[in-house]
Structure 1
């Protein structure tokens, strides 16, 4: 690395608030920070730097290392692992299937699923909202979107959670093992679609198989990688986001009751929660040339983490950035779903899941909910809780 300094330690044990305090310090004192931990990387803490790196895909590449810590040991997975224009055919195939209209069409199924998952927690008077609710909900919603057969959903949940925990424990061998299980599921799904093709306008796997770039099909292993990426990428963020929202509402019972009394406030509330608790800090870029940011020179090839969770609390853009402010005037500036060619294609599906999940949780807990034990936090690249025990009533 070009800088031997240790401006922060990403491996310090964290509670729900400590990482945000540290990122606030970095924004004020060291907005372009370096650490030798997790393989060594730079971190951008301020809004404008993160936005620039996310938007300028010619300078800041995603094809060399796309996440901190490095977790891609088992092949390239479009579109995240490719730069434009190489990534474009994969986004072109998937984007129509992730439109707002299509995403909202899954809301009734999401609502029924949320009610079913919450029923045993209601019967017991509470439970771990992450382990028992938000780790299952996105798997099944993505299963609906992917049109996956039912027998693959529980294995997808188990493999996805195992991969997340392996990343959480920074266990490379376990990451490889669980990633290969997800690859096996991707290949099985592709085999099924080849044997019994479905409408590409409805089925993501069939859309990828039907896609053409310069007249040729997309490479087989790249299609496998894309399906593997899609199977997992939409699972983790809702898991930790629902946990973060629940912790916040436990700390602010008046807001909890306000949102319970007026469900029409949830769309705006979701946007502010996404800003305040953006679930990623480890999406990475690698400069294609030496660059200078914040007076520090980052050499070509050195990984850079985009601290979205810090950028979205940057006080120069979001006054009182550590506070929840419903209907914040400039909420559209939020980087919760990224920017540029690698902005999250599933943003509409993600918003729908969060809204439905919280509406149903409020409906299931007319007497409120509160924390009932210790919170377990995720580690890089996510930020947010993996365990949030709640008491209903």
Structure 2
């Protein structure tokens, strides 16, 4: 088996996208020996087709590369239709645009409080001091968690993220087990103190009936465990990447600050340009041939969304930021098919408010050092040191 690329090599913030451009041109269906071996789809059409074809490319065998699920199945991501559908159906109404919009004041307050401390200091790390905390506080609000649980989730969520980025299997298992303990605590509390299914995701899951029977409690725990993490890491990385781009492009930074009405369109283009996932996985149930290469049944396949969204066959000048991209809807930032991100509306709200508040917090900001990159399965910024300009007296 050929070894076409090595995801374990050292990276910079920019190097993965440069590497993926080469692979798209020369080896769009690539194989790596890392983590026991896996395939990677680099082209937009191949990624979109595999994500949509859930009958051929299943997610229940392995859903991310490298494999980090050691402690049980976590719906809905770890299940295929129709098994995954009751879990997603319970979650989706609580993540609709209408419901998510109610969180906007809380998200804005969270962002302002975090940024205010950084601006007073004159500098900070956009990720460590801002974007690593904001999604956790937002999710805690959405999940109706008490303050003590927010502090615990912040602590454990950070440990989990660092462990995955460092490919530390033991630490990943340990922090994942702690997240499971938190999820069990949330489920136990809602069983004792139920809330409206229109207001609380755990209560909604507990109320689901399939053929008259409730969902298995351990699977509900797995769903809450999944929700606790999926909504934390991606927004954190994404906001870091946006900050890097704007620190490098002062004209765009100033334009968005002067014309905040452009922020929603900017977020869509940032999502395309800095899609934070490259390791969501599928497994083919039969041998499949894509662009002349045959992938044997049962071998993991990474859907490299980050590469797909910079495919020049779909997006003109794909490495450029363009506010007026006519085909931005072709972006696969939130995936395709039955596993398309159920939390897309909440992610957009978080990113939009975070960017608006970052731009409003100071007259300008600049990089204070090189951004630290993430590793598989995310792609983007793990640390972004910045300095803030002082407002004119």
Judge same fold: TM > 0.5, yes or no.
Answer: yes
What are the Cα deviations for residues 252-284 of structure 1, in whole angstroms up to 9, with x where unaligned? 100000000010000000000000000000000
How many Å separate the matches in 2 of 1:354 and 1:104?
13
Partner of 1:373: 369
Partner of 2:121: 124
Partner of 2:318: 321
How many Å separate the matches in 1 of 2:95 and 2:264?
18
Q: What's the secondary structure of 2:180's corresponding residue?
A: helix
How many Å separate the matches in 1 of 2:312 and 2:148?
48
Alignment gaps of 5+ in structure 2: none
Residue 140 (structure 2) pairs with residue 143 (structure 1): yes
How many Å separate the matches in 1 of 2:198 and 2:274?
34
1:374 positional shift: 2.5
Residue 79 (structure 2) pairs with residue 74 (structure 1): no
How many Å separate the matches in 1 of 2:188 and 2:324?
47
Residue of 212, 216, 225 corresponding to 1:215: 212
1:385 positional shift: 0.8
Which consecutive segments of 4 or more residues in structure 1 shift more than 6 A?
none
How many Å separate the matches in 2 of 1:342 and 1:72?
17
Residue of 353, 360, 364 corresponding to 1:363: 360
Alignment gaps of 5+ in structure 1: none
What are the Cα deviations for residues 314-351 of structure 1, in whole angstroms up to 9, with x where unaligned? 00100101110002100011000000000000000000
What are the Cα deviations for residues 60-86 of structure 1, in whole angstroms up to 9, with x where unaligned? 000000000000001000000000000
What are the Cα deviations for residues 169-228 of structure 1, in whole angstroms up to 9, with x where unaligned? 111111110000000000001111011100011100000000111211001110010000
How many Å separate the matches in 1 of 2:236 and 2:35?
23
Residue of 273, 277, 288 corresponding to 1:276: 273
1:165 positional shift: 0.8
Residue 105 (structure 2) pairs with residue 108 (structure 1): yes
**Alpha-carbon contact 1:118-1:361 (below 8 Å) kept:** yes
Q: What's the secondary structure of 1:71's corresponding residue?
A: coil
How many Å separate the matches in 2 of 1:17 and 1:244?
10
How many Å separate the matches in 2 of 1:244 and 1:33?
26
Q: What's the secondary structure of 2:36's corresponding residue?
A: coil
Q: Give the number of aligned pairs.
A: 389
1:39 positional shift: 2.0
**Alpha-carbon contact 1:117-1:132 (below 8 Å) kept:** yes
Residue 177 (structure 2) pairs with residue 183 (structure 1): no
Q: Pairwise mapping of residues 1-393 of structure 1 onto structure 2 (< 5 A)?
A: 4-366=1-363, 368-393=364-389
How many Å separate the matches in 2 of 1:193 and 1:213?
20
> RMSD value over aligned CA atoms?
0.6
How many Å separate the matches in 1 of 2:230 and 2:383?
19
Q: What's the secondary structure of 1:173's corresponding residue?
A: helix
**Alpha-carbon contact 1:39-1:69 (below 8 Å) kept:** no
Q: What's the secondary structure of 1:228's corresponding residue?
A: helix
Q: What's the secondary structure of 1:386's corresponding residue?
A: strand
1:38 positional shift: 2.0
1:9 positional shift: 0.6
